[in-house]
Structure 1
C-alpha cells in the first residue's frame, strides 16, 4: 500500500507517520476510522474535497469522533482531513498505514519478533486453503473471523500481531496474505530494515544466514531482515526475493539457463 501513495498523499502520510507515536489504542482508532471512510463514500469525498474549508472538515471529524476515540487519535484525524490527498481513496489507505505504524511502534523492542510472527501467520494462511477460506468467507461476520483469530493466536503471539492479523481481514487489500505481506514490510521499515524472502531446499546454518544478511545489507545499503522458507521445489542453492528484485541461485534456475543457451 505505501508504495501506492504519490504526490500530496505521500506527503500527508509522511507527516502523519511522524506524529503517530506508539499507542495501540491510537492504532485501533485509526483502523476504525479508515473503515468508516472506506464504507461512507459521501464522507470520504467531503473530507478530501480541496474546495471545502478546513474548518468544516475538522468540525465534522470532531462531531463524529469526539469522545469516541483517544484524544491523540482525534488530533490525527483532524490533521488528516486538513491535508490534500492525491486520490480520494488515499485518505482511508493512509489512515490504515499510519495505524499499522502505530501498532508496530507499540511492540517496542519486539518489532523484529513482530515481523517474524506476521511472516509465520502469512505462511500458514497461504498453505492452508481451509483457514484461508474461513478468514475470507463473505458469509462469516467480522466478529466471527476476529474470534477465530483470537482462538488461533491469543496468548501465543504479540498483541500487535493479533491486531494486525485482524486488520488484514478488513478488505483494504486484495487478499489477507497481501495485507500481511504489506504489514511485514512496514514493520521492517519502521526498524530501518528491508525484508528478503529466502527460499532454500533445507534450513541454512546460522553462519550462512549471517553472511547472506551481511551481503544483502551491503548491496542494498540498509539492514535486511531474512524470512527463510524451506521450499521442496528448490533443488539446491537459494532464491532471494527482496522488493522487486529476485536473485535466483537455485540449481533449477541454472539448469534452465543452460537449456536456453543450448536451444539458442
Structure 2
C-alpha cells in the first residue's frame, strides 16, 4: 500500500470514528450505504478513475458524489465519501478498497458500541475454521455461479440468531462481494480490523489441547510484552502438533511445538 493511499485510509477512518462518537448515528445503515457504493464503483471503472483523478478539483469530485448518490444513501455516508474523493489515492482501485474497509469498520464500531466486539472477533475466527474444514461449505459460499441472494440466505441460515448481527453482516458482505479475495483471507482482514479498533494485534495460537483461562492470560501477557501492545488470541486446537505452542502474529512465527522439533531432529539425522 502506497503512502498516499495509507494516509487517505487513515484520514477516512478518523472521520468515521469522529462521526460515530455521536450515539445517534445508525452505524448499521451507514455500513450498508458504504457497501452499496462499493458495489457500484467496483463495476464502474471510468467513474472510479474520475473520482481519483488528481488533476480534478476535490470539490468537483465531491459534487459528483452528491449528484450520483444524493437521496440514495444517507447524509453521513455521503459526507464520508465526499471527504474520501477529496483525498489522494495511488490507484483508482484503492478508493474502492478504502470504502469497503470503511463499511466493515462501521460494523465493527457498532459491535464495539454494543459491547460485543470480543464475541465478533471470536465468531469470525471460528467461522473461518469451520469453512477451512468443509470443502462443501466453502464451495457453496464461493460458487461464482450461485446468485448473491442464495449465498446471503445461506449465511443467514448458518449464522442468523446464532452469531452477533455484525458477524453475520460481515460474512454476508464477503460472500456476496468477494472482490477477488479468498473467503479465509477476507475473514482474517475483518479480524485485524476488529483488533485495530482496540489497539491490539491478533495472534494465531496453535496447540494440541485447549488452554485453560489462566494459561491464556499468561500467554497473552507474554505476547503483549513481545509485541509492545495488547494481543487478542485466536486459538486453534490441532492434535497433530503433539505438544507445545505455535504462535503467528502477522508474518512472524514463533515455533515451539513438539512436532516441529521432531521434524528438525529427523532432518538432522538424514543430513
The CA RMSD over aligned residues, in Å, is 1.3
* Residue aligning to 1:153: 159
> Structure 1: any 5+ residue segments left out of the alignment?
none
1:61 matches 2:68? no
Alignment partner for residue 212 of structure 1, among 219, 222, 231?
219
Q: What CA distance in whole angstroms lies between the structure 2 residues aligned with 1:172 and 1:218? A: 36
* Residue aligning to 1:6: 2
* Residue aligning to 1:133: 139
Q: Please report the TM-score for the alignment, with normalisation by the length of structure 1.
A: 0.95
1:19 matches 2:19? no
Paired residues of 1:173 and 1:179 also in contact (CA < 8 A): no
1:52 matches 2:56? yes
Q: Which has the higher contact order (CA 8 A, sep 6+)?
A: 1
Alignment partner for residue 180 of structure 1, among 161, 174, 187?
187
1:73 matches 2:98? no
Give, in angstroms, the shift of residue 173 of structure 1: 4.4
Counterpart of 2:205 in 1: which secondary structure?
A: strand
Q: What CA distance in whole angstroms lies between the structure 1 residues aligned with 2:178 and 2:97? A: 11
Q: What CA distance in whole angstroms lies between the structure 2 residues aligned with 1:79 and 1:31? A: 16
* Residue aligning to 1:104: 108
**Structure-2 change in CA distance of 1:173 and 1:196 (3 Å):** farther
Farther-moved stretch of structure 1 (55-64 vs 213-222): 55-64
Paired residues of 1:192 and 1:222 also in contact (CA < 8 A): yes
After TM superposition, the structure 1 = structure 2 runs for residues 166-245 of structure 1, keeping only pairs within 5 Å, are 166-169=172-175, 170-245=177-252
Q: Please report the TM-score for the alignment, with normalisation by the length of structure 2.
A: 0.92
* Residue aligning to 2:171: 165
Give, in angstroms, the shift of residue 227 of structure 1: 0.8
* Residue aligning to 1:92: 96
Give, in angstroms, the shift of residue 232 of structure 1: 2.6
**Structure-2 change in CA distance of 1:132 and 1:176 (3 Å):** same
Farther-moved stretch of structure 1 (52-61 vs 123-132): 52-61
Alignment partner for residue 254 of structure 1, among 261, 264, 267?
261
> Structure 2: any 5+ residue segments left out of the alignment?
21-26
Alignment partner for residue 148 of structure 2, among 142, 153, 157?
142
Say how many residue pairs are matched: 260
